[in-house]
Copies of this chain bind each other. A is one copy, B any other.
C-alpha cells in the first residue's frame, strides 16, 4: 500500500475480547497501527489474542498510552467516532466522507478515536479531534459492537484505494450466431414434434422463443449443453 493507513485509537476499552476483534477487523482492511489508552483489563490480554484470530501476531502493532493527547501526539488529523453528533462546533462526517478525505491526505498521519463500549467518547476526547464521524445506521437500533464500528470505518478507507472492478461480468459469452443457430435448431425440432399447434400463432410463438433465448447471457458452454439436451430429449 502506498498510503500509511490511519491509526485506530481505543479510549478506555473494556473487554480484551473486543480489542482482539478490533485487531481482526483492522487487519482485514490492511490497518496495523492500534493504540490503546488505559485498557481496563490491562495489556497484553489472552482474551484479545484469542479473539484476534491471529491478527495480533500477524501484523497489528499495539502501543499503550496513558492519555488521549499522548496517543494522538504524532497525528496531523484526528476524527472522533460517535453514535450521534454532540453539541460541538465541528464538521460531522459519515464514515465514507471522512475516509474519502483521509485517503486524500496521503502525507498526514491520521488518527481515529473510538470510545469505551458502553459510554462512548468523553467530550474531552472529542474536543481534541478535527471532526466527528457518525455512522448513519438504523436510528431505532444503534447498539453497534466496537469492532463493527471499527470495521465500517476501516472498510470505507480500504474502498477508497480499491481498484477491484465493480462488477466482473461472466466471461465466454456466446455470440449471437451461436445462439441463433441453436434457436433455429430448436424451432425446427419443435416443429417436428408438433409444438406449434396453430399456423396463426406460429410466428408469435417463434418470436417469443427467440426473444427468450436472446435475452439471456449464455456462454458457449451453455449453448453446447442446450444442444446436448435437445439431442438427448429427441433421441428415440
Known: A24-B145, A53-B143. A162 touches B136 (CB 8 A): yes
Stretch at the interface among A39-47, A68-76, A84-92, A120-128: A84-92
Q: Is the CB of B164 within 8 A of A136?
A: yes
Residues of B within 8 A of A209 (CB): 225
B100, B148, B172, B232: which contacts A28 (Cβ < 8 A)? Answer: B148
| Chain copies in the assembled complex | 2
Is residue A189 within 8 Å, beta carbon to beta carbon, of the partner chain? Answer: yes
Name the residue on B nearest A161 (C-beta): B136
Which residues 1-58 of A have a CB within 8 angstroms of B?
21, 24-25, 27-30, 53-55, 58
Residues of B within 8 A of A186 (CB): 229
Counting chain A residues whose Cβ lies within 8 A of the other chain, the interface size class is 35 or more
B100, B170, B232: which contacts A90 (Cβ < 8 A)? Answer: B170
Q: Is the CB of B151 within 8 A of A194?
A: no
Q: Is the CB of B29 within 8 A of A137?
A: yes
Q: Is the CB of B53 within 8 A of A171?
A: no
10 A-B pairs besides A28-B144, A136-B159 with CB distance below 8 A are A53-B143, A94-B162, A94-B166, A97-B166, A148-B151, A193-B233, A193-B235, A194-B232, A216-B217, A233-B234
Q: Is the CB of B229 within 8 A of A195?
A: yes
Is residue A201 within 8 Å, beta carbon to beta carbon, of the partner chain? Answer: no
Is residue A138 within 8 Å, beta carbon to beta carbon, of the partner chain? Answer: yes
The residue in A54, A91, A151, A225 that gathers the most chain B C-beta atoms within 10 A of its C-beta is A151
Residues of B within 8 A of A27 (CB): 138, 141
Residues of B within 8 A of A234 (CB): 233
Residues of B within 8 A of A235 (CB): 193-194
